[in-house]
Amino acid sequence: MADNRDLLKQITKLKKEKNAIILVHNYQRPEIYEVADFIGDSLELSRKAAETEAQTIVFCGVSFMAETAKILSPNKNVLLPNLEAGCSLADMITADQVNSLRANFPEAAVVSYVNTNAAVKAVSDICCTSANAVKILNSLPNDEIIFLPDKNLGSYVQSHTLKKIYVWDGYCSVHQDLKKQDLISFKKEHPLAKIIAHPECKKDVLEVADFVCGTGGMAKYAENNDSSEFIVVTECGMTNKLRDDVPEKHFYSFCNLCSFMKATTLEMVLKSLQENKHPIYLPEEIMNKARNSITRMLALA
């Protein structure tokens, strides 16, 4: 098996030859950061996917992110190195279920978290990410909102709006399984540390956090805050990224691993470039409808 240095060299060479860029989510393995053209949160990655001139996008993240890239750049070759890199949260709702919700709440706008499959985005009015959910919701004219699929993000948004929100009962098990009492015990070991939590965590966990934000907002908060120590409450990979971005501060992980985010390896990235694995294909009608929901979000955010 080739060592990492050899893999990095081969990937960098092939990337140039194939006019490809590699987009990497913050939760990916640290060795994947090494081949990234850009590392970021869901919102930043969708922006990069929309504006790149490269012909091929290798997406090191999960399938809904690669689908979003394909929807925004339908003429580009978007590759997901490992087809097992799904998202259990995204799989918790189908387009048929969204249509039934619409029938039950006809006055409500459908806001879907970007962690949804393309078919769900296609029947939504607008998308949002953890970075812009409150802003998107509050910018809509509707007083009633169907928010899906994450109930924890939905409850967080409800606490920042006067609108009536109907929340779908989905969750991310990586965040759902992080417990408030364990966090309080962990904090006792690091009493001076500020707690930064992702809004996919449960409400009681968010109540003990000093700051709640998506993965893209964490470095900025740590940089600008007086504290030199932070407890990072989300997927474990985020701490690596924060240590890279803000090396002068200390970060402690209170986290779970996402097996989907960790499913991509350097070997798979190389193979994806060598053998064009695995191109994202989506029906044109779904892409066109889903694009409306995503571009509306990008315009508002």
CA atoms within 13 A on the CB side of 22: 28
Residue 212 engages ligand SF4 in binding (rule: CB under 6 A): no
User: What residues between 147 and 186 interact with ligand SF4 by CB under 6 A?
Assistant: 172, 174
Residue 120 engages ligand SF4 in binding (rule: CB under 6 A): no
**Residue owning tokens 């690596």:** 240
User: What residues between 232 and 291 interact with ligand 13P by CB under 6 A?
Assistant: none
Q: Which residues face 16 on adjacent strands?
A: none
3-class SS at 134?
Answer: helix
How far is residue 193's CA from residue 272's CA, in Å, rounded to a whole number?
41
- Print the binding letters for residues 100-129 with ligand 13P: x by CB under 6 A, - otherwise: ---------------x-------------x
**Residue owning tokens 């990069």:** 48
How many residues touch ligand 13P under the rule CB under 6 A: the total is: 10
Residue 41 engages ligand 13P in binding (rule: CB under 6 A): yes
**Of residues 11 and 69, the one with the C-beta less far from ligand 13P:** 69
| Least distance to ligand SF4, CB of residue 9, Å | 29
| Least distance to ligand SF4, CB of residue 85, Å | 8
Q: Which does 130 bind (CB under 5 to 8 A by kind): ligand SF4, ligand 13P, none?
A: ligand 13P
Burial class (CB in 10 A: 0-12, 13-18, 19+), 42: buried
Strands ordered across the beta sheet of 56-60:
38-40, 20-25, 56-60, 77-79
| Least distance to ligand 13P, CB of residue 41, Å | 3
Residue 127 engages ligand SF4 in binding (rule: CB under 6 A): no
User: What residues between 2 and 61 interact with ligand SF4 by CB under 6 A?
Assistant: none
Question: Nearest to residue 25, comparing CAs of 7, 12, 8, 38?
Answer: 38
Q: Which does 129 bind (CB under 5 to 8 A by kind): ligand 13P, ligand SF4, none?
A: ligand 13P
**Of residues 115 and 293, the one with the C-beta less far from ligand 13P:** 115
How far is residue 194's CA from residue 274's CA, in Å, rounded to a whole number?
44
Residue 172 engages ligand 13P in binding (rule: CB under 6 A): yes
Q: Which does 215 bind (CB under 5 to 8 A by kind): ligand SF4, ligand 13P, none?
A: ligand 13P
Residue 63 engages ligand 13P in binding (rule: CB under 6 A): no
Pairing of strands 144-148, 229-235: unpaired
Residue 133 engages ligand SF4 in binding (rule: CB under 6 A): no
Alpha carbon distances (Å) from 6 to 3, 9, 11, 35: 5, 5, 9, 12
Distant-in-sequence, close-in-space partners of 208: CB < 8 Å, separation ≥ 6 = 180, 183, 184, 187, 195
What are the residues binding ligand 13P (CB under 6 A)?
26, 41-42, 115, 129-130, 172, 200, 214-215
What are the residues binding ligand SF4 (CB under 6 A)?
62, 87-89, 115, 172, 174, 235, 258, 260-261
